[in-house]
Amino acid sequence: MANKLEFRQFWQQVMALTSANMRSRYRNTIAGFLWVVLNPLIMYSVQSFVFRKFLKIEVPNYSLFLLCGLLPWIFVVMSIDMITPVLDSSRELLKSFNISPFVLALAQVFDNFINFLFAFFLVLIPTWGMSDLSFTGIFFIPLALIFLVSGVIGMCFLLSVMQIFFKDVRFITSFVINILFFMTPIFYPVEYVPAEYRFLISYNPIFAMIEPFRYCIYDYDFNVLVFKLFKSGVVSVSFVAIAIIFWKRKRNEFFIKL
């Protein structure tokens, strides 16, 4: 097929658009970029204060415990929020040039992922360093990050394509995310959930991709971590596979519906 791009050319488009997205979002200001770190910090500070002081959650090293779940959660939620409408708002662009919708979605995920990595290394790693917890799990973090970002790419691309077909996907997703926040053990340990309700946690795909970070950083145990990474990998591959199958089946209808 003469019109198909090589991976290098596709990658150059993604990188150019990611960089342009970031310039547009922060308008080349330091204050804009500082918000990337300040946003999760403020979220973390408020939640940490409320759950420790008001709800009296007694978890050792609660700050670190909360950060391990909260930062990946913010990445997932912000990605869903930003990427679900991205193809819908780029209808004219997609109709005008032969641009892959995947480039548009991927550039937004990478924009968010770079922000997440900055927050991760500027906030979480120093907090980890100040604790007396083992650093052994750090070697597994790249794998947890790969599974997380791959799963988010698959999930967000799927949602952004669905948004073209159903105009309320964005609102339904937002509603589901609000419910999931309370059903996902981010600000409370999974052990707080009574055994008869644990299945709700086991079937939560977002938590499956977030959980390995907790076992890398806060509660390192090699055997448990390997299992959690495996589960995260399965969820991530499933999201990517579903997105690819959905796209292949709906590609023509997608461009006609634009």
Partner 1 sequence: MNSLSNSDLILNIEDLHMTFDAELFKTVSLKDRFVRTLTLQGKQVSALHVLKGLNLKLEQGDKIGILGVNGSGKTTLCRLIAGILVPTSGSIALNGECRSIFNTTIGVIPELTGRENAALLVKFIFPRESLAVQAQLLEDALDFSELNEFLDIPFQNYSKGMQARICLSVISAKECDLLILDEVFDGADLFFQEKMRIRISDIIERSGATILVSHSLDQIRSVCNKVLVLDAGKIQFFGDVEKGIKAYRFLDNGLASFRGEL
What residues line the site for partner 1 (CB under 8 A)?
1-6, 9-10, 12-13, 16-17, 20-21, 23-24, 92-93, 95-99, 165-169, 172, 251-253, 255-257
Q: Are 233 and 140 in contact (CB under 8 A)?
A: no
Q: Are 225 and 215 in contact (CB under 8 A)?
A: yes
Residue 2 vs 179, nearer CB to partner 1? 2
Residue 13 vs 131, nearer CB to partner 1? 13
**Separation in Å, CA 111 to CA 3, 16, 49:** 27, 11, 29
**Residue 59, Cβ density class (10 Å: 0-12 exposed, 13-18 middle, ≥19 buried):** middle
Residue 195 vs 256, nearer CB to partner 1? 256
Residue 23 CB, shortest distance to partner 1, in Å, is 6
Q: Are 32 and 119 in contact (CB under 8 A)?
A: no
Closest-CA residue to 62 (of 225, 218, 234, 231): 218
Residue 229 CB, shortest distance to partner 1, in Å, is 33
Residue matched to tokens 């409408």 = 85
Residue 161 CB, shortest distance to partner 1, in Å, is 14
Residue 37 CB, shortest distance to partner 1, in Å, is 23
Residue 64 vs 107, nearer CB to partner 1? 107
Residue 2 vs 195, nearer CB to partner 1? 2
Number of neighbouring beta carbons within 10 Å of residue 147: 23
Residue 11 CB, shortest distance to partner 1, in Å, is 10
Residue 242 CB, shortest distance to partner 1, in Å, is 17
| Residues in CB range of 17: below 8 A, 6 or more apart | 103, 104, 107
Residue 193 phi/psi, 5° resolution?
A: -80, 125
Residue 198 vs 257, nearer CB to partner 1? 257
